[in-house]
Amino acid sequence: AKDQGGGTFNIFSNGTDEYEKKQLMLENDLRNALETEQLIVHYQPVVDLSTGRLKSFEALVRWEHPELGLVPPGEFIPVAERSGLINDIGTRVLESSCRQVRRWHSANEQIGLAVNVSIRQFRNPHFPNLVKDVLEITQFPAHLLILEITESMMQDDSESVRIIEEIRTLGVKLAIDDFGTGYSSLSKLGFLPIDYLKIDRSFITEMLIHAPIQSIIQTIIDMGRNLDMELIAEGIEEEGQSLLLAECGCQFGQGYLFSKPLSAEEIEMTYSLSTLV
The site for Ca ion (CB under 5 A) is made up of: 116, 148, 177-178, 234
44 binds, among ligand C2E, Ca ion, none (CB under 5 to 8 A by kind): ligand C2E
Please report how close the Cβ of residue 60 comes to ligand C2E at its closest, in angstroms: 4
Please report how close the Cβ of residue 177 comes to Ca ion at its closest, in angstroms: 4
73 binds, among ligand C2E, Ca ion, none (CB under 5 to 8 A by kind): ligand C2E
Torsion region of 55: left, alpha or beta (phi above 0 gives left; psi -120 to 50 gives alpha): alpha
CA distance 85 to 220: 34
Element spanning 76, H or E: helix 73-83
Residues that bind ligand C2E (CB under 6 A): 44, 60-61, 72-74, 77, 90, 93, 116, 118, 177-178, 234-237, 254-256, 261
CA distance 73 to 53: 28
Q: Measured from the CB atom, is 140 or 203 closer to Ca ion?
A: 203
Q: Are strands 252-253 and 230-233 parallel, antiparallel or unpaired?
A: parallel
212 binds, among ligand C2E, Ca ion, none (CB under 5 to 8 A by kind): none
CA distance 55 to 232: 11
Please report how close the Cβ of residue 260 comes to ligand C2E at its closest, in angstroms: 7
Please report how close the Cβ of residue 116 comes to ligand C2E at its closest, in angstroms: 4
61 binds, among ligand C2E, Ca ion, none (CB under 5 to 8 A by kind): ligand C2E
CA distance 19 to 142: 42
Are 245 and 233 in contact by the 8 Å Cβ rule? The answer is: yes
Please report how close the Cβ of residue 178 comes to ligand C2E at its closest, in angstroms: 6
96 binds, among ligand C2E, Ca ion, none (CB under 5 to 8 A by kind): none
Are 77 and 95 in contact by the 8 Å Cβ rule? The answer is: no
